[in-house]
Amino acid sequence: MEDSRKTDGRLRTRQDADYIFHELTRSICPQCKKVIDAQVIIRDNKVYMRKRCPDHGWFEGIISSDAKMYVDSIGFNKPGTIPLDFTTQVDQGCPLDCGLCPEHKQHICLALIEVNTGCNLDCPICFADAGSGFSLTLEQVEGMLDRYVDTEGNPEVVQFSGGEPTIHPGLPAMIQAAMDRGIGQVMVNTNGIRLARDDRFLETMAKLNPVIYFQFDGLRRETYRTIRGEDLLETKLLALERLDRVGLDAVLVAAIEHDVNLDEVGAILEFGLEHPAVRGVVLQPVTHVGRHIPFDPLHRVTIPDVIHGIVKQTNGRFLLEDFVPVPCCFPTCQVNSYVYVDEDQVTPLPRLLKIEEYLDYITNVSLPKVPDAAQIREALEGLWSASAVPGTDKTAGQFQCACGPGLDLPFGIDHLNKHIFQIAIKDFLDAYTFNVKQVMKCCVAVLVPDGRSIPFCAYNSVGYREQVREELTRQQKAGQS
C-alpha cells in the first residue's frame, strides 16, 4: 500500500533535527535590544544561539566552536559570593535592573572605571565607541571608589579605562585614590601611546606602579592598520621597552578577529613570554559592540578558536589541557592558564596539578585526598579568577601555594613575579551571544558615578553605556555653563 506512506507527495518518515537542543535562556534582540527567549543549540560540534524577536525576526550566532569544551566547562561553575550591599531593586528582571540587583549571583572581582570618553586614537574597532562625551572629576571617582568599598568590603581590583585614561590629567590622583583605599591591585588600560612618548608621565606611573593593561593586537603592521586604523607597531614596542626600563609590569591585551590576527595568537604569546616587561597576555575575541568592522555572527572568533590557535601556532609548547575555565564568573566566559618560565623552560601549571580535581564543583563533591587540598583549591581559585592580576605579589603567592608540592621553586616572591606568566582568554558578550545566565553571574562591572556597578557585558550590549554617557555628558555641560 505505497499510497498510505505519502501525503501530497511528501514522505511521512520522522526526521532527526540536525542539532541538539542544549538549553533555553534569555537574550536580547540585536536590533531593538528587547529581552527575548533564546535557544542554545549544538550543531556539528559547535554551539549556537538562536532567537526570535517578534518585530525583527530570527537571529543566529556562534557562541563556541567546540561543543565539548563548552559543555565540559559547566562543571567549573563555583558557588557565587554575595556582595555586602546592592544598589538597585529587582523590577523589570535581568538584564534591565543593573546593578547590582539582589538577584545577581556573584560579587565583583574586577571593577572598571571609565574616566573619560576621549581618546588619542580613532580605531575602527572600539567597544567603548570612544570619542566626544565626558571626563570624570577626581571627586566623582572618589565617590565611586567609596561606593565600591561599601558594596564589596574588601574590593580586589580596579581597572582605569576610557576612552584613553592616560590623557586624563587626573589619572595619577585617581590611581592613588584607589590605592589609598587599600585596593591593592590597580590597573591602567591603555593604548600605550603616552607611555611611549611622555617621560614625565612614565616616571609618575613608575612611582605609582599600577599594572599596565596594554593593548597589543599583534606583531604585524597590517593588524594595527585594520584594528587601530594606523600602524602602531613601533610605538607599542617602544612603550614596552620603556615600561621595562622603569620596572612597570604589563599585560598584553589583544582583540582577536578572524582573517586579521587569529593566526597571530601564538606569536603574541611567544613575544610576551620573552619580553621582560610582560607578565601575561589576555586574548579577547572582538566584541561586536560599539564600533566594529562588518562581521558574520555565524563566523566570529570564540574561546576554542583561540586555544586551538595557540596550540597549533606554538609547536607543541601548549596543549588543549593547559587551558582551564574560570569558576568565579560563568565558566564559559573565560579560560586561564599559568606557566612557570625559566630560561627556555615553559611549564604550564595544569601539567603539575590536576586542576579539574580542585575546581570542578559539580561532578567532584570532595577534594583530592592530599594534605593542604583546601589551601591548594583556595590558591587555584585565586589564580582562576577575574581578579587575578599577573605581576603582583598576591598572584605570585597563590601560584607558589598551588604548585608548591609539584615544582621545586626557588624562594622569593620577586623571583616568582618575574617568572609566572598568565594567559587569559576572555569572550565578552555581544548582541548575538548575549546570555542572561552569564550576565547574572558576571564578576566584571563598570562603576558609575550614581553608585551603580553594571556588569560589563550588560553595560555594552543592553544600552547602559549609551544612557550613562548621555547623562554624564549632559551633567558636565550643565556644570560648565
Pull the grid cell for residue 472: 554624564
Q: Which of 121, 346, 409, 436 binds another protein (CB under 8 A)?
A: 409
172 near another protein, rule: CB under 8 A: yes
Residue 302 CB, shortest distance to another protein, in Å, is: 34
Residue 166 CB, shortest distance to another protein, in Å, is: 14
Nearer to another protein, 346 or 413 (CB): 413
166 near another protein, rule: CB under 8 A: no
476 near another protein, rule: CB under 8 A: no
Nearer to another protein, 3 or 414 (CB): 414
CB atoms within 10 A of CB 131: 13
Report in angstroms the alpha-carbon separations of 201 from 179, 311, 342: 18, 38, 32
Residue 372 CB, shortest distance to another protein, in Å, is: 4
Residue 349 CB, shortest distance to another protein, in Å, is: 13
Residue 375 CB, shortest distance to another protein, in Å, is: 5
Report H helices in 314-453. Answer: 355-359, 373-383, 393-403, 413-419, 436-440
CB atoms within 10 A of CB 9: 5
Q: Which residues between 92 and 151 bind another protein (CB under 8 A)? A: 142, 149
Question: In whole angstroms, what is the distance from residue 113 CA to residue 448 CA?
Answer: 7
Q: Torsions phi, psi of 340, nearest 5? A: -100, 120
Residue 354 CB, shortest distance to another protein, in Å, is: 17
Give the interface size with another protein as a residue count (CB under 8 A): 38
Binding mask 174-193 for another protein (x = CB under 8 A): -xxx-xxxxxx---------
N-term to C-term CA, the chain: 87
Nearer to another protein, 28 or 175 (CB): 175
Q: Which residues between 339 and 398 bind another protein (CB under 8 A)? A: 371-372, 375-376, 378-379, 393-394, 396-398
Contact present, 265 and 306 (Cβ < 8 Å): yes
Question: In whole angstroms, what is the distance from residue 139 CA to residue 283 CA?
Answer: 33
Residue 262 CB, shortest distance to another protein, in Å, is: 37
71 near another protein, rule: CB under 8 A: no
Q: Torsions phi, psi of 235, nearest 5? A: -60, -45
Question: In whole angstroms, what is the distance from residue 415 CA to residue 428 CA?
Answer: 33
Which amino acid would we find at residue 21? F
Report in angstroms the alpha-carbon separations of 222 from 252, 283, 388: 18, 18, 32
Residue 26 CB, shortest distance to another protein, in Å, is: 37
Chain CA centroid to CA 416, Å: 24
Q: Which of 143, 266, 276, 404 binds another protein (CB under 8 A)?
A: 404
Stretch that binds another protein, among 70-78, 88-96, 204-212, 459-467 (CB under 8 A): 204-212
How is 129-145 classified by DSSP, letter by letter?
A: --SSS-B--HHHHHHHH
Nearer to another protein, 237 or 413 (CB): 413
CB atoms within 10 A of CB 339: 24
222 near another protein, rule: CB under 8 A: no
154 near another protein, rule: CB under 8 A: yes
Question: In whole angstroms, what is the distance from residue 454 CA to residue 126 CA?
Answer: 19
Pull the grid cell for residue 360: 570542578
207 near another protein, rule: CB under 8 A: yes
263 near another protein, rule: CB under 8 A: no
Spatial neighbors of 80 by CB under 8 A, at least 6 apart, are 105, 106, 107, 328, 441
Contact present, 215 and 125 (Cβ < 8 Å): no
412 near another protein, rule: CB under 8 A: yes
Nearer to another protein, 185 or 287 (CB): 185
Contact present, 86 and 216 (Cβ < 8 Å): no
Residue 389 CB, shortest distance to another protein, in Å, is: 14
- DSSP conformational letter for 368: -
Q: Which of 126, 268, 403, 439 binds another protein (CB under 8 A)?
A: 403
Nearer to another protein, 318 or 399 (CB): 399
Q: Binding residues for another protein, per CB under 8 A? A: 142, 149, 154, 172-173, 175-177, 179-184, 204, 207-208, 371-372, 375-376, 378-379, 393-394, 396-398, 400-401, 403-405, 409, 411-414
